[in-house]
Structure 1
Amino acid sequence: MDALLILGGLLLILAGLVWLVMRAFATSLLWGWASFVPPLTLIYVLRHWRSARPPLALASLGVIPLVVGLTLLASHDTQRLEAILSLKWLKPEQQAPAELAIDLRGELNGRPFAPQQAELLDGVLSLREGQDFFAQSELVIRLPKVDKGPVRIDVLPADEGVLPEVEISWLLPEQELPEARRLSRGYTLHLDLQPLAPNKLVGDFHLVLPPQFKTTLSGKLELFSNGLRYRNGAIDRSFDSVDTLSHVIQDYLQRRFATRQVQLQPIGSLSFPQQSIDLNVQARINGELQQLPILLQKQDKRGWQVAADSFPQLPSAVAPPVAQAKPAATAAVVPERVSKPLDRRVRFSLDGLLRNPSRYQNLSMRATTERGNSAEGRFHGIDQDGRIILRQRLSGQGEVSYTLRPEEVTRIELLEP
């Protein structure tokens, strides 16, 4: 309501001023041009009051709804009123510098493709365009094996064997869900990435898919190699990602137990945004496996931190232990017997998943439907209607949920033991 009053008042004032200029031109050409200069406009009003009185009355009527609208706006949104009166909206908006220097030229599915997000996590390289929950366009390359350090891969259309799997997806304006296509051979790929501190990879990227996919991409690529973000040389604790929470928890456990011998077990996938997360984490502390409850909270200035964390920082250098005069007899250490975990990918099938869904809870899977669409994510059980639920985390920005009917699934794969 306040916006309508303000807009209506401004339109009435503008209409009155235009009418006044028209009256000035009707008087004479000289007075018409002089009415564009405010001091001369005032002189015209005083000299020709009868002619200027109706336009001024109309402009005066516009002041009333303008004042009422500004008063209503000030009563419930003072900051917005201050922003309007400060005239900051007239200044051009300064765009924040991009996190990644991505210089790629090409198209995806016949449309220009300019990704703003790029990362290589757990052997999956993803380029994403769009900031919404579903990407406008996305390219995903699943690499068979990625070691720490440089990444160099060359694939030609005639190559055979275990090759990277390429998937493209796009979301058209008339679609509610994105459409995807995947292929494992018959394309050209050149990837030459070098590490860039602290957690980036940078280098050449070249991809050409078969003509029916209408996808080519070439240029310089910079991407993140993990889910951490840095600000002023330090880890940004306000960024929502599993890696950020893992760093916060490990730092807390090191200070709590006054030791750097802390090996945190994976905490699994999480959905964001959240302001508070309650976890039960497992960590090997000084060689002993422990399970600890952790409550994480996100604050505006400090970002993520463990609740009631008041432990001091560890010293930068730890003094070597003092040698004892008499060596104590050391007991024989019995090596811990580690049993090899069962690989659940063996004999995995859709029927087995439906019979015993709890056995595969929270494991990564990929399913292909009769229409050729694919869905990948972590298994979150079977709903009341017997449909399979897969959820996938999207670069720390949230998660996407897939609900699949078993009769529509033509192929399902378990991606981890």
Structure 2
Amino acid sequence: MDALLILGGLLLILAGLVWLVVRAFGTGLLWGWASLLPPLTLLYVVRHWRRARKALALCALGFIPLVVGLALLASHDAERLEAILSLRWLEPETKAAADLAIDLRGELNGQPFEPRQGELVDGVLRLSEGQDFFARKELLIRLPQPIKGGVRLDLLPGDEGPWPEVEISWLELEQELPEARRLTRGYSLHLDLQPLPPNKLTGDFHLVLPPRFKTTLSGKVELFTNGLRFRDGQVDRRVDSLDTLAYVIEDYLQRRFATRLVQLQPLPAVMLPARSLELVVEARIDGQPQQLPIQLTKRESRGWAVQGDSFKPLAAPGSVAPASAPSAASAGEASSERVARPLDRRLRFSLEGLLRSPSRYQNLSMRVATERGNTAEGRFQGIDADGRIILRQRLSGTGEASYSLRPEEVVRIELLEP
């Protein structure tokens, strides 16, 4: 809405100025050419006010939606307005320096391969070229053992023992999905990677696949070991990754509960990129399990942050906090207890709230009664594509029962845990 108001106001102002120039040419050829220069345009308006006033009225009318649109934009996205008014968008875009120093020579599927993205996460080494949803060319090596520290691996076609699975894929111009080839032995591989703080591995890489795969690579690689990215020595919160979200949430919990003893459990799957997220996170804080609803928002300048985060940074390890009066200390303890108390979501739970924010109640135990008199109890798994409520109940042994309920047939729903 704000963009439409701003655009409409600018178009009205432009139409008024064009009309003013046309009126000036109607007065005289000399006045017409003079009106193209702003100082002389003002002179024309003063000398021929009766002919220019209608065009000026149209310009003034355009300022109304322009000002309203700018006010709306400032109310919900002040940083974007500042970027527009500062004219930073007029500056030429500078090409960002590569995050990784990858120097590989060779080919993949008979074509030159120049990867610019690389990582080794959860035992999977990935080198890819292209930043689309599907990489134009990609190499995956699934290592059989977990990675701790550096990596040293030498394999020849006749060697025994567990072999990493190698997968190459490529995307042709006329194809929508990439083609892939996999092999589990019969190739040559040399890896010698050493840790590079804060979150990289660097070293030698040599790979030769059998001739029919037309893939040979040799050189130096640099790989990320997680989804964090750093800028000026600090974590870049603008990066969309689960590791960035985990870092932001863990930092928030440490400051909220005034302790560094925070062990965050794995986050639920989320859709990235996004502008805002609602999560229910689990963590052990000072040894106590906690389950907390967290709402994250992302802005262009500061990146991801927890909404409502106003807690102060923790004191540096080893520093001594200044002594305070007993009354202040007791008040601080009471405040800390109030903050540490987990939110009981059963108090305001309703079917409408569940449908509006399903992620807030993910994996919580519920009981549902239907209009037919049936009762279903289980853990909430989300809302499917047809808008049905999904509950899953674990049976004896390893069996599970799944319930799919339409909201219109629910007569009563209860949340069984906070």
Smaller-chain TM-score bracket: 0.5 to 0.7
Write the letter of the residue equivalent to 2:195.
P
> Cα offset for 1:268?
3.4
Pair 1:222 & 2:228 matched: no
Partner letter of residue 281 of structure 2? V
User: Counterparts of 1:264-343 in structure 2 under 5 Å?
Assistant: 264-318=264-318
Superposition pairs for residues 8-23 of structure 1, below 5 Å? none
Contact map agreement 2:204 2:221 (CA 8 A) in 1: yes
Q: Say yes or no: does 1:254 pair with 2:254.
A: yes
SS in 2 for 1:167: strand
The alpha carbon displacement at 1:203 in A equals 0.3
Deviation at 1:161, TM superposition (A): 2.3
Conservation of the 8 A alpha-carbon contact between 2:268 and 2:279: no
Compared with structure 1, are the counterparts of its residues 210 and 281 closer, same or farther at alpha carbon in structure 2 (3 Å cutoff)? Answer: same
Provide Cα deviations, 1:65-99, integer angstroms capped at 9, x if missing partner.
Answer: xxxxxxxxxx99xx8xx999x8x77xxx7422111
Instruction: Write the deviation string for residues 43-77 of structure 1: whole angstroms up to 9, x where unpaired.
Output: xxxxxxxxxxxxxxxxx9xx9xxxxxxxxxxx99x
- Per the TM alignment, residue 236 of structure 1 is displaced from its structure 2 partner at its CA by 0.5
Aligned partner of residue 177 in structure 1, secondary structure: coil
Change over 3 Å in CA distance of 1:269–1:120 after alignment to 2: farther
Rounded to whole Å, the distance in 2 between the matches of 1:317 and 1:190 is 42
Structure 1 residue 319: Cα displacement? 5.9
State the distance in 1 between where 2:102 and 2:94 align: 20
After superposition, give the CA deviation of every residue in 1:176-201 in whole Å (9 maximum; x if it has no partner).
10111111111110000111111111
Counterpart of 2:183? 183
The one of the two structures with greater contact order (alpha-carbon pairs below 8 A, sep at least 6) is 1
TM-score (norm: length of structure 1): 0.55
RMSD: 3.3
Q: How does 1:34-53 map to 2 (within 5 A)?
A: none
Residues in 2 aligned to 1:152 and 1:102: alpha-carbon distance in whole angstroms: 18
| Regions of 4+ moved over 6 Å | 380-384
| Contact map agreement 2:103 2:219 (CA 8 A) in 1 | yes
Partner in structure 1 of residue 236 of structure 2: 236
Q: 2:201 corresponds to which residue? A: 201
Alignment partner of 1:161 is 2:161 = yes
Q: CA deviation at 1:300?
A: 1.7
CA 1:179–1:152 in structure 2 vs 1: closer, same or farther (change >3 Å)? Answer: same
Q: Deviations over 1:11-39 (max 9, x none)?
A: xxxxxxxxxxxxxxxxxxxxxxxxxxxxx
CA distance in 1, matches of 2:146, 2:319: 37
Partner Cα separation in structure 2 for residue 312 and residue 139 of structure 1: 44
The change in CA–CA distance for 1:169 and 1:263 in structure 2 (over 3 A counts) is same
**Displacement of 1:131:** 1.2
Matches within 5 A, 1:347-386: none
C-alpha distance 134-159 of structure 1, shift in aligned 2 (>3 A): same
Distance change (3 Å), C-alpha of 1:307 and 1:125: same
Equivalent position SS for 1:309: coil
Instruction: Please state if 1:171 is matched with 2:166.
Output: no
Q: Is contact 1:246-1:264 (8 Å) kept?
A: yes
Match of 1:128 in 2: 128
Alignment CA distance shift 1:188-1:232 (3 Å):
same
Asked if structure 1 preserves the Cα contact closer than 8 Å seen for 2:190 and 2:204, the reply is: yes
Give the Cα separation in 2 of the matches to 1:83 and 1:283: 41
Size of the aligned set, in residue pairs, is 250
In 2, Cα distance between the equivalents of 1:313 and 1:132?
38
Percent identity over the alignment is 63
Q: Is the 8 A contact 1:191 1:205 kept in 2?
A: yes
Query: Conserved in 2, the CA contact under 8 Å of 1:160 and 1:185?
Result: no
Q: Contact between 2:277 and 2:297, CA under 8 Å: does it hold in 1?
A: yes
Structure 1: stretches of 5+ with no match in the other structure: 1-59, 64-74, 322-360, 362-379, 385-417
Give 1:141's aligned residue. 141
